[in-house]
Amino acid sequence: MRDEGASEREAGLRAELAAAGRAFGARGWVPATSGNLSARLGPDVAIITASGRDKGALGEGDFLAIDLDGAPLGAPEERASAEAPLHGALYRRFADVRAVLHVHSPAATTISLVAGSGEVTLRGYEMQKALAGVTTHEHAEVIPVLPNEQDTVRLSTLVGERLDHHPDAHAYLLAGHGLYTWGWSVAEARRHVEALEFLFDCELRRLALRGDGR
Ligand SMILES: [Zn+2]
């Protein structure tokens, strides 16, 4: 029997993700069909943007169901984003995460390349309080930066190993590639993208004004 509640919930998540994609597109954060957006449907199932779609012009039909290995669960001709394993690994790692959002914005891409130490540390910004659980600008938010890698299954293992050392991280960066962040709802993950983009932009300006890269 068809579960009306579940299909209504899925339709709601598709609408929320599509709206987030359009907002990110308007800001120039998902150019040239880059980026991908997903939400958890159940313990072992998520929906994710289909490969090759313009994430700034998403409709509710531009998503497909995947398992947590990133494999499509529907028609065989449907192609999930190549980065679906990275989404699945985060749902596996954090049982209560409900959404994973990934953007290729200029600020995230640039700061990932200037972070020589393998991480970006943000401190002193009021905006950090937009990250779940952070209550003060005095918090040091450490965002791991990993080398980019085309084998996304292998990369998801490397990400897991880094996150073992950063259990409180809200996000990670792939060098020269972009930002991954997550949340306990689509709205929270979207707030994390918006806050981190603001913070990366401020941090890049601060580094440029100092001129010494510290
Ligand atoms: Zn990407």
**Mean predicted confidence (pLDDT) in 12-23:** 97
E-assigned strand segments in the chain: 36-42, 45-49, 63-67, 99-103, 119-122, 141-146, 171-174, 178-183
Res 21: pLDDT: 97
Residue 85 Cα to ligand 1 middle (Å): 12
Neighbours of 146 (CB within 10 A): 20
Res 116: pLDDT: 66
**Mean predicted confidence (pLDDT) in 16-44:** 96
Residue 120 Cα to ligand 1 middle (Å): 19
Residue 88 Cα to ligand 1 middle (Å): 14
Residue 147 Cα to ligand 1 middle (Å): 13
Residue 33 Cα to ligand 1 middle (Å): 10
Residue 5 Cα to ligand 1 middle (Å): 32
Confidence of residue 19 (pLDDT cuts 50, 70, 90): very high
Res 75: pLDDT: 72
Q: Do residues 182 and 97 touch, judged by C-beta distance below 8 A?
A: yes
Residue 4 Cα to ligand 1 middle (Å): 34
Q: Work out the mean pLDDT of the chain and round it to a whole number.
A: 93
Residue 210 Cα to ligand 1 middle (Å): 30
Residue 76 Cα to ligand 1 middle (Å): 23
Residue 177 Cα to ligand 1 middle (Å): 6
Res 76: pLDDT: 67
Residue 119 Cα to ligand 1 middle (Å): 18
Residue 86 Cα to ligand 1 middle (Å): 10
For residue 27, give both structure tokens: 């800001």
Closest among 50, 55, 59 to 79, alpha carbons compared: 50
Closest among 16, 190, 155 to 182, alpha carbons compared: 190
Q: Do residues 109 and 177 touch, judged by C-beta distance below 8 A?
A: yes
Distance CA 74, CA 62 (A): 13
Residue 127 Cα to ligand 1 middle (Å): 25
- Read off the pTM: 0.94
Residue 165 Cα to ligand 1 middle (Å): 23
Q: Do residues 120 and 202 touch, judged by C-beta distance below 8 A?
A: no
Q: What are the tens digits of pLDDT across the range 150-193?
A: 999 999 999 999 999 999 999 999 999 999 999 999 999 999 99
Residue 136 Cα to ligand 1 middle (Å): 31
